Structure 1
Amino acid sequence: GVYLLEIHRILRPGGFWVLSGPPVNYQNRWRGWNTTIEEQKADYNSLQTLLTKMCFKQYSKKDDIAVWQKSTDNSCYDKLAKADSYPPKCDDSFEPDAAWYVPLRPCVVAPDPNLKKTSLKSLPKWPERLHAAPERVSIIHGGSAGAFNHDDSKWKVRVKHYKTLLPALGTDKIRNVMDMNTVYGGFAAALIDSPLWVMNVVSSYSINTLSVVFDRGLIGTNHD
């Protein structure tokens, strides 16, 4: 169950988790899994029970594929605060976005009730979200919508200058780029119309701004 807890942590409210394989469709597949139909039924029921406790709801199931959706209703997590609940709710000392050499935690990270625009439906659609200041920028130390917009504008100017120094940038001659010290992903956003992809790297020694990178619809990771 600890891996499901990690999936729950990284999914935003309204996000989807897809499972293809055992025990989904056990009624028709159990013979090929070297097991019994009773065992697979028990596994499926246990999985469904655990996901329900973690505030997931089954969204769809067809053949060998089942899809669950993470709830957008924060009241679902209230029952996890009880002393005898399993899995338990993580206490407030846990930093939900910490991931660099952080052990997997055997508890459910409840979404911040103060953040109203982080759910899947609340985010601006692509490509508008790329240049819109995410709500979570306000909870980052030193972050604000103004700082985000300044960073976004700054990188547009810088990329224009970089292309004069390196004409191949923006052509199919350069396909893979790493921004090894990103803050909000401004460099990647400024190159969005170029035929390349940018991996945004947030230093493990700096303030963790990956949430903003992800909210923009970009990819990123931590590294030292």
Structure 2
Amino acid sequence: MMNIFVSGGIYLLEVHRILRPGGFWVLSGPPVNYEHRWRGWNTTIEEQRSDYKKLQDLLTSMCFKLYAKKDDIAVWQKLSDSSCYNKLSNPDVYPPKCDDSLEPDSAWYTPLRPCVVVPRPNLKKSVLESMPKWPERLHVAPERISDIHGGSASAFKHDDSKWNVRVKHYKKLLPALGTDKIRNVMDMNTLYGGFAAAVIDDPLWVMNVVSSYAANTLAVVYDRGLIGTYHDWCEAFSTYPRTYDLLHLDGLFTAESHRYYITWN
């Protein structure tokens, strides 16, 4: 089993960083339910009891609360109340707050940090509480679009409309799109996830890839309720070969042409 306490629980600190305020983290396995499972873990019940207490104490110090626990599964929720994060300023409380030298959204070639990334001070309530419920949120410009250069509600609406029209043309040229023949799709150069939103009623899922050359719009993709990732297309994509049934590409070669030359042999 992986030792979750390596380097002072740095893996849990990364869980905290990528989880939105009010979000949930589910742990299935050791040391949860150690009372009934410890015999199969090549350990003692005392060691597992100690590990579970360490886990609880560490998560509490990182502003998580135990949400639910049953059998082998435990669910923790990341608090959105700023009062908990204010306590982190006490040097006697572990772990410390991260300083402001690194943008909180940085993730590309960024090392893990042994500190807590504190939600922005102007976050008055949980982002989840401020967003419409699914599926309405899919077509509503998230608040965080204003953090993106050139981003606005009108730009979001224009992108949505554009892809609704384009997808209709796609289906005329590629009748398999919209059937069970195309299941796994990648949008290699998404902006706000408009292509994925336009095919939301089809029997497929879309991986939205925000290219590293452009503005990081991944927050908008996530707030819409879509899935996505950030990637530098000068490197291989970290997925198994031959995974996708359809690759969708809009403007990537043109946008990336200033960085490298594409040659065909």
Which TM-score bucket, shorter chain as reference?
over 0.9
Q: Tell me which residue corresponds to 2:128.
A: 120
The residue number in structure 1 matching 2:116 is: 108
Aligned length: 224
Superposed, 1:22-37 pairs within 5 Å as: 22-37=30-45
Residue pair 2:80, 2:125 contacting (<8 A) in 1 also:
no
Q: Answer yes or no: is 1:135 the counterpart of 2:143.
A: yes
Structure 2 SS opposite 1:164: helix
Q: Would the aligned equivalents of 1:89 and 1:107 in 2 still touch at CA under 8 Å?
A: yes
Amino acid at match of 2:169: H
Counterpart position of 2:79: 71
Q: Distance in 1 between matches of 2:169 and 2:71?
A: 53
Please say if 1:10 is aligned against 2:18: yes
2:166 corresponds to 1:163: no
The aligned counterpart of 1:94 is 102
Verify the 8 A CA contact 1:155 1:187 in the aligned structure 2: yes
Shift of residue 116, structure 1, vs aligned partner: 4.4
SS of structure 2 residue aligned to 1:152: helix
Shift in CA distance, 77/206, structure 1 to aligned 2, threshold 3 Å: same
Deviation for aligned residue 1:85: 3.4
The 4+ residue runs of structure 1 with deviation greater than 4 A are none
| CA apart distance, 1:118 | 5.1
Quote the Cα distance in structure 2 between the aligned partners of 1:211 and 1:82: 31
SS in 1 for 2:129: coil
What amino acid is the match of 2:190? Answer: T
| Alpha carbons 1:80, 1:86 under 8 Å: kept | yes
- Aligned residue for 1:210? 218
Structure 1: tracts of 5 or more residues without a match: none
TM-score (norm 2): 0.79
State the shift of 1:58 in Å.
0.5
Partner residue, 1:59:
67
Paired-residue identity, % = 80
What is the alpha-carbon root mean square deviation over aligned residues? Answer: 1.6
TM-superposed deviation, 1:137: 0.8
Cα distance per residue 1:45-80 (max 9 Å; x no partner): 111111001100001112221111110202211121
In structure 1, distance between residues paired with 2:55 and 2:35: 15
- Where in structure 2 are there 5+ consecutive unaligned residues? 1-8, 233-265
Alignment partner, residue 182 of structure 1 = 190
User: Counterpart amino acid of 1:101?
Assistant: Y
